[in-house]
Homo-oligomer: A and B are copies of this chain.
């Protein structure tokens, strides 16, 4: 990874003279390459905040051979890119950021100069296809911009985007012919048959339109496009790698050359351009989920008449504006980590509507937005925890639209369900719970202008679908039985929290009937707590506990993405109740201590596929989300300073400024949102309350510039790994004795001052109203 000279220079200045110099812009700190190797699953390419076009190199996405059957790569290539790879297949326009399941990679373009090859070839033999070798030394990645030199044909590639348009600039060697592949068969999570249909029209010598429909993780994904070129097409053609039924075309035409209408299942096309001027080729690719006309409108509105360089500057400006919500002091690595985390929180969800407001809903029909912008990519099981709560501080307008998008989704859903895991007008039902109810409840608790009646209606219907993941049994027994589901215990615990958020909203609206019903459901977590064992434990429908139960294993023990050690703490809405169930304060603390510091036997790692020893603190797994709130739970105990200790430990160990610097999937910004919030010094343990539980700031100075014009300054002079403990807190100069800060205090702006110390302040214990919220007081 080569740092661009100007940036390197600024960074040098910043190292020499803290605080940050004015000329250094926040985007200069962002290192999009963080997390692009291993399990971060982030992509290095170009995008603008919450833009649907995420234009990025794909290094390998072809199916892998599993016992002779080619299976899609569901996990490793979620972002299409792994830093360890040494070849690039091409540049596609849609990606997921940090997910644990893959999809997309739509509309791949690859420049070349030599003989035509219509297959991508293999990583082990790049010359067997159109892919090219490259060196990371030639890569430049910064917000809204990506650059690389394709070494096979010596073509310099530069990429930038708007929200709905990807812009490519290809500089070919002088005198070389200028050609590109447009591979409509390429995909991430590719398999034989992913593309249901692809269509391409050569409208004139500088304009293509078309679409493809895919069946992937998104079950039916419609991607329409309009592609304009800066110079004339001289010649073109295509190959369809799968015979279609009616071949009338073939008999009558030479359809594989200069025939302006191309359709099929596995269509790879090529275009050759007028190279007489030796100028670079610029390509603008507009996407739409609605129609080619929508794509043309997007192209016209966002990119027509502007050069690559102008659009690159515009993309950088957009990022600097959004990233400027935080101003911070700190060393380079910490600022890089902070701004890269903030950057990662501003990628998904993405706008999913044309400039005229038309979009494809989860009913697969086209809708017209009226009073909101429609968003997609809702990884809600991850993002309800910290990403949407973070947005309620720094990104409120967008989060309002996201919530409205969720409500519209529920209205279009045949199940009348809010999103579980949805993207591109599809519900993929990944993971568990119905956590959108938390996002809605939290948004309303934090004052977003969202219709409460519509919200409550959608929340009730989402939580009452009898056939949805054993909700029927849950409503009947008070838990999901291990007879029914291998994730029964996780599901039950998460339903209980989700139901509490519905209780909370209903109560605030004075709807006592609903509040009472859901309060009862919110206590369901108790049904799966084995008091004798002191842990959450799955049970059968007849009430008996699962025998031969392992607290450490995840798989086969009733949990998902977390073992009983972690999930037993999953009662964010009733920590007091949990403490009581666990036998009181000291037992609770002991258990937390053990969680973070136990030594796991080596054989444990032999049986896990996505957890390594360095990804763990004891058996606390930060790479998976169910534990994200746990380090903050000490704040309910008599030893709150332990939160301060472990938060910093996690930030230091689990987030690093390098290619594999993320200890797990970034999960559409959830991992990063945890970091940004924890760096501020507080975290939303229980979204749906208006409280952020106070940990300790990571940096000596941070200023939040809020959408209402107010500024919140967070000071922590002399904070360091040594001085990680909070001695005292002041809000606007007055001593502050609560374990949490409320939404309103944040929105009012002012100054939150932490006095830091190398020793815990064992007097700073929270009681009564100063303790954070619990359902059981």
A154 proximal to B (CB < 8 A): no
- Also in contact, A252 and B196, with CB within 8 A (given A72-B245, A245-B72, A292-B365): no
**Does residue A3 face the partner (Cβ distance < 8 Å to B)?**
no
Q: Does A197 have its Cβ within 8 Å of any Cβ on chain B?
A: yes
Q: How far is the CA of A291 from the CA of B258 in the complex (A)?
A: 33
Whether, in the assembled complex, A364 has its beta carbon less than 8 Å from a beta carbon of chain B, the answer is yes
Closest B residue to A217 by beta carbon equals B246
A101 — which chain B residues lie within 8 A by C-beta? 246
B363, A263: Cβ atoms under 8 Å?
A: no
Q: Is the CB of A220 within 8 A of B199?
A: yes
Pair A429/B220 contact, Cβ less than 8 Å: no
Q: Mark A228-271, 1 if CB is under 8 A from B, else 0.
A: 00000000000000001110110011100011110101000000
**Contact in complex: A469, B217 (CB < 8 Å):** no
In the bound complex, residues from chain B placing their C-beta under 8 Å from that of A220 are 197, 199, 263
Interchain CB contact under 8 A, A245 and B365: no
Which residues of B are found within 8 Å of A189, using beta-carbon distances?
A: 245-246
Inter-chain contact A365/B415, CB cutoff 8 Å: no
Cβ of A467 and Cβ of B217 under 8 Å apart? no
A318 touches B (CB below 8 Å): no
Q: A469 to chain B: which residues have CB within 8 Å?
A: 252-253
What B residues does A197 contact at CB under 8 A? Answer: 196, 213, 215, 220
Contact partners of A291 in chain B: CB under 8 A: 365-366
Q: In the complex, A633→B429 CA distance in Å?
A: 70
Q: Decide if A385 is an interface residue (CB 8 Å cutoff).
A: no
B467 x A259 contact (CB < 8 A): yes
The yes or no answer to A430 lying at the interface (CB within 8 A) is: yes
In contact, A467 and B414 (Cβ under 8 angstroms): no
Q: Decide if A202 is an interface residue (CB 8 Å cutoff).
A: yes
- Chain A 279-294 interface 0/1 with B at a Cβ cutoff of 8 Å (1 = within): 0000000000001110
Tell me the number of copies of this protein: 2
Tell me the nearest residue of chain B to A292, going by C-beta.
Answer: B365
CB within 8 Å for A194 and B245 given contacts A220-B263, A467-B253, A467-B259: yes
Looking at chain A, what size class is its interface with the partner chain? Answer: 35 or more
Closest B residue, CB atoms, query A189: B245
Known: A202-B414, A414-B203. A363 touches B292 (CB 8 A): yes
The answer, yes or no, to whether A737 is at the interface (CB within 8 Å) is no
A366: B residues at CB distance < 8 A: 291
Inter-subunit contact A430/B248 (CB<8 Å)? yes
A219-B263, A253-B469, A430-B248 known; A364+B203 contact, CB < 8 A:
no
* A470, closest chain B residue (CB): B252
> Are B201 and A363 interface neighbours, CB within 8 A?
yes
Measured CB to CB, the closest approach of chain B to A289, in angstroms, equals 14
Q: Is the CB of B260 within 8 A of A414?
A: yes
What residues on B are CB-neighbors of A191 within 8 Å? 245
A415 contacts across to B, CB distance below 8 A:
260-261
Specify the chain B residue showing the minimal Cβ separation from A291. B365
**A75 interface residue (CB < 8 Å to B):** no
Q: Which residues of B contact A72 (CB under 8 A)?
A: 245
Q: How far does the alpha carbon of A258 sit from the alpha carbon of B258 in the complex, in Å? A: 50
Within 8 A of B (CB), among A98-112: 101
Least Cβ–Cβ distance between A161 and chain B, in angstroms: 25
B363 touches A468 (CB 8 A): no
- A428 at interface, CB cutoff 8 A: yes
- Flag whether A216 is at the interface (Cβ < 8 A): yes
Q: How far is the CA of A468 from the CA of B259 in the complex (A)?
A: 9
> Taking CB as reference atom, which chain B residue is nearest A242?
B193
Of B202, B216, B364, B468, the residue contacting A246 (CB under 8 A) is B216
Complex-state Cα separation, A364 to B213, whole angstroms: 13
> Which of A101, A252, A258, A259 has the largest number of chain B CB atoms within 10 A?
A252
Hey, what's the 0/1 contact readout for A422-450 against B, CB within 8 Å counting as 1?
A: 00000011100000000000000000000
State in angstroms the CA–CA spacing of A219 and B245 once bound together: 8
Q: Which residue of B lies closest to A71 (CB)?
A: B245
Give chain B residues whose Cβ lies under 8 Å from the Cβ of A194: 245
Which positions 186-216 of chain A face chain B at CB distance < 8 Å?
Answer: 189, 191, 193-194, 196-197, 199, 201-203, 211, 213, 215-216
Residue interface bits A71-85, CB-to-B below 8 A is 1, else 0: 010000000000000
* Docked complex Cα distance between A201 and B219 (Å): 14
Considering the complex, give the chain B residue whose CB is closest to the CB of A191: B245
Q: How many Å lie between the Cα of A220 and that of B253 in the bound state?
A: 19
Contact (Cβ within 8 A) B201 A215 = no
Cα-based distance from A755 to B568 in the complex (angstroms) = 103
Q: Considering the complex, which residues of chain A in the window 113-150 have a beta carbon less than 8 Å from any beta carbon of chain B? A: none
Pick the residue among B213, B258, B468 that contacts A253 (CB under 8 A).
B468
Per CB-CB distance, the 5 closest pairs between chain A and chain B, nearest first, are A196-B196, A201-B414, A248-B429, A217-B246, A260-B414
Can you list 27 A-B pairs, Cβ within 8 angstroms, ordered by A? A189-B246, A193-B245, A194-B245, A196-B196, A196-B213, A197-B213, A197-B220, A199-B220, A202-B414, A211-B364, A213-B213, A215-B244, A216-B245, A219-B244, A219-B263, A220-B263, A248-B428, A248-B430, A253-B429, A253-B467, A253-B468, A253-B469, A259-B467, A260-B414, A291-B365, A292-B363, A293-B365
Interface residues of chain A, those whose CB is within 8 Å of chain B, are 72, 101, 189, 191, 193-194, 196-197, 199, 201-203, 211, 213, 215-217, 219-220, 244-246, 248-249, 252-254, 258-261, 263, 265, 291-293, 363-366, 414-415, 428-430, 467-469
Q: Contacts A199-B364, A219-B263 given; 20 further ones with Cβ under 8 A?
A: A72-B245, A191-B245, A194-B245, A197-B213, A201-B363, A201-B414, A213-B213, A215-B265, A217-B246, A220-B263, A246-B428, A248-B428, A252-B429, A253-B467, A253-B468, A253-B469, A260-B414, A260-B415, A291-B365, A293-B365
